Every structure is written in structure tokens, then in C-alpha cells.
Amino acid sequence: MSLAVVVALAMFAGIVLYGLFGGADFGSGFFDLTAGGSERGGELRILIDHSIGPVWEANHVWLIYILVIWWTGFPVSFAAATTTLMLPLALALVGIVLRGASFAFRKYSATLAQARLFGAVFAGSSLITPFFLGAAAGAVASGRVPAEGNGDPLDSWLHPTSLFGGLIAVGTCAFLAGVFLTADAARSGHGVLAETLRTRTLGVGAATGVIVFVALVPIKQDSPTLSDRLLGPAAPLIVASAVAGSATLVLLLRRRYGPARLGAAAAVASVLIGWGVAQYPWMLVDEVKIADAAGAPATLWGLLVVVGLAGVIVVPALAYLFWLTQSERWTQEA
């Protein structure tokens, strides 16, 4: 395995982790949006606040990790993507800014009216970001980002692969969030809320599963390179995703929320890794291969030092944070 591929793998690991952890944070916006009026939705919104409050900033940094490895390790392909996908990336960015800012503002709002305003912005922007990031990924995966950059600003992402990519991203985020929030609600003694969330999550999960598999049909027409590998080497992962997703729904039906979280994470991770396998060995599908996109070897080694340090410093610290948030003492007094 070449040095470039190792760095690309490290970057892709960041994508999977961002999809799982960042995705769950973004997905909570869907439940916040559909929680109902301030009276009825208050309990759920406090739960969301408590669940993602301590972790969302840390989870968000995976995106930064992805970006810095991309532009440092594969600079030309990064510039090609940003000049072509300016619109979806800028819209995703607006979502990121509005989501983070209004989430913090809402927590310390003085009045209900302010909290409603910031809450609506938080929830709405939480859906925008995954959609446009998914659409951008679809553009790369379907071979619409030319190697020299400055591709078509609209056609590059207004096509079935990107649009389904966006929908899948929104759906998987909401599914993950639903499962995690249901488990959090049940664990912190909000029984009625957990039941409501369980019903909605079952709906979201089923819908997302349908979208993922329906999407294979237009993608086959739209992106032959990607779909050849999706239905080839990546097929076991698509099957794994179907199995894990179905198992999660069964676990939710049986109110086994702890294992359901693992199932949901496995299902989403399988979809993401399936995309990664399908895209290999391309950095920009049909345009630039990973090996050809790589920057200077000395820089790739430098990036591996960073990745190693992340393993030593960031991973244990993250584990400590997540361990704390799951501990008895932090679950109380929501």
C-alpha cells in the first residue's frame, strides 16, 4: 500500500467518524424541528441540549481534520473540488455557522421568543449542512469534479447521485440521532419521550433504508464507475448495511436501545465505507487517482505524524469525554 493511500485512508477514517458523530449531532436538528410547540417540545429540546451540548464541538473538529488532510495531502484535488463545488460547500458552511451559533445562543436565550428563533435556525440549519455535504460527496463520487477545477457550478451537483447523496446524508444523520436520543431519553428516565422518539426513529430508519437502496437505481445510470464498484467490491458492505439497519429497527421495536446504538452506527458506517470502497482508487472519480493526487512525500509523512499524534492525544481524550457523558453522574439532572 502506497504512502498516499495510507494518508487517504486516514482522511477517510475522519469522514466515517464525522459521519457517525457529527452526523448524530446534525440529525438531532431533525427531531428538534419536529418536536412540536414550546410546551410540548420542551422536554425533547432539553434532552437534545444535554446530549449534544458537551460533544458537538469536538465532533465538529473531524470536519476540520478532513479538510486539513485533504488540502495538505492532496492539494490540487482540494482546489479542484472547492472551485467546482463552491455553491454546495458554501451552503453547507452557512448551515455549519448557523447551527453552531444558534445552538449556543438558544441555550442562553433570555426569552422564549428568542429561544424559538434560535431554535428554528439551529434545527433548520442542521438539515442544510448534511444535505449539501452529501451532495458535494456525490459530485466527487460521480466524476463531476474535473481535475483542473472550475467545473460547472450547477451541473456538477444537480444530478441524481448528488441529490440522493444529500438525502442519504440527511436520513442517516437523523436515524443516528434518533437512536442515540431514544437511548438517552430512556436512560435518563424520560419514558414517555423515549416512546415518542422510538416511533419516529423507526419511521426515519425505514425511510432512510428505502432511500439508500432506491438510490442504487439512478446512480447506476448516473455514475457508472461508482456503481460498478458499489455493486462489485463494495457489495458486501451494502449488504452489511442492510443487515445492520434492519437489526437496529428490530432492536428498537424490542426497546433494546443500547445495542440499537451499535447497530445504527454499524449501518451508517457500512454505507460510508461502501462509498469509500466504491470510489477507490480515485480521489476525484474518473479524473484523478489517489496516488496521482498526492502532494510531496515529506508532507505525507508529516501528516502521518499528525495522525499518530491524534491517535495518542485526541482519541483517549475523546474517549474520556464520551465516557463522562455516558456516566451515571452526568446523566442525572438533565
Partner 1 sequence: MDFVEVATHVLTSSDGPSGLLPARQQMALSLGWHIVLACFGVAFPTMIYVVHRRGIVRDDAVALALAKRWAKVSAVLFAIGAVSGTVLSFEMGLLWPGLMGRFGDVLGLPFAFEGLSFFVEAIFLGIYLYGWGRMPARRHLAMLIPMGVAGVVGTFCVVAVNAWMNNPTGFRLVEGEVTDVNPWRAMFNDGVWLQFAHMWVAAFMVVGFVVAGVYAAGMLRGRVDAHHRLGFTVPFAFATVAALVQPFIGHVLGLRIATTQPSKLAAFELATTTEQPAPLRLGGILVDGQVRGAIDIPRIGSLIARNSFDEPVPGLDSIPPGDRPPVNITHLAFQSMVGIGTLLAAAVAVYWIARWRRRDLTGHRWFLRGAVVAGPLAVLAMESGWIATEVGRQPWTVWQVLRTTDAASESAGLWWSYAGAVVVYVGMTIGAVVVLRSMARRWRAGEEDLPSPYGPGDSPVDQARSR
- Is there binding between residue 192 and partner 1 (CB under 8 A)? no
**Distance in angstroms (rounded) separating the CA atoms of residues 225 and 282:** 10
Q: Name which of residues 69 to 98 contact partner 1 (CB under 8 A).
A: 69, 71-76, 78-83, 86-87, 89-90, 93-94, 96-98
Mode of pairing for the β-strands spanning 282-284 and 288-289: antiparallel
Q: How far is the CB of 13 from partner 1 (least distance, A)?
A: 14
End-to-end C-alpha distance for the chain, whole angstroms: 48
Cβ of residue 99: shortest distance to partner 1, in angstroms?
8
Q: Where are the beta strands (DSSP E) in the chain?
A: 282-284, 288-289
Structural contact between residues 171 and 131, judged by C-beta atoms closer than 8 angstroms: no
101's CB contacts (< 8 A; 6+ apart) are: none
**Nearest distance, CB of residue 248 and partner 1, angstroms:** 27
Q: What's the closest the beta carbon of residue 267 comes to partner 1, in angstroms?
A: 26
Complex with partner 1: residue 89 or 127, whichever CB lies closer: 89
CA dist 261 and 205 (Å) reads 12
Q: Residue from 28, 102, 182, 279 that binds partner 1 (CB under 8 A)? A: 102
15, 115, 169, 265: which one binds partner 1 (CB under 8 A): 115
280 lies in the site for partner 1, by CB under 8 A: no
Among residues 93, 70, 20, 89, the alpha carbon closest in space to that of 284 is found at 70
Could you tell me if 5 and 67 are in contact, meaning their C-beta atoms sit under 8 angstroms apart? no
Q: Does 187 sit near partner 1 (CB under 8 A)?
A: no
Site string for partner 1, 290-319 (x = CB under 8 A): -----xx-xx--xx--x--xx--xx--xx-
CB of 37 to partner 1, least distance (A): 10
Pick from 149, 218, 224, 281: which binds partner 1 (CB under 8 A)? 149
H or E segment and range at residue 277? helix 257-279
Kindly state whether residue 234 participates in binding partner 1, applying the rule CB under 8 A: no
Query: Using CA atoms, how far apart are residues 94 and 128, in angstroms rounded to an integer?
Result: 8
Residue 195 binds partner 1 (CB under 8 A): no
Minimum distance from residue 330 beta carbon to partner 1 (Å): 5
Tell me if 172 sits within 8 A of 19, measured CB to CB.
Answer: yes
Pick between residue 148 and residue 228 the one whose CB is nearest to partner 1: 148
CB-side neighbour CA atoms (13 Å) of 167: 19
Please name every residue paired with 284 in a beta bridge, in sequence order, or none if there are none: 288
Among positions 9-38, residues that touch partner 1 (CB under 8 A) are 38
Among residues 6, 9, 33, 67, the one that binds partner 1 under rule CB under 8 A: 67
Closest CB to partner 1 among residues 43, 235:
43
Q: How many Cβ atoms are within 10 Å of 98's Cβ, its own excluded?
A: 18
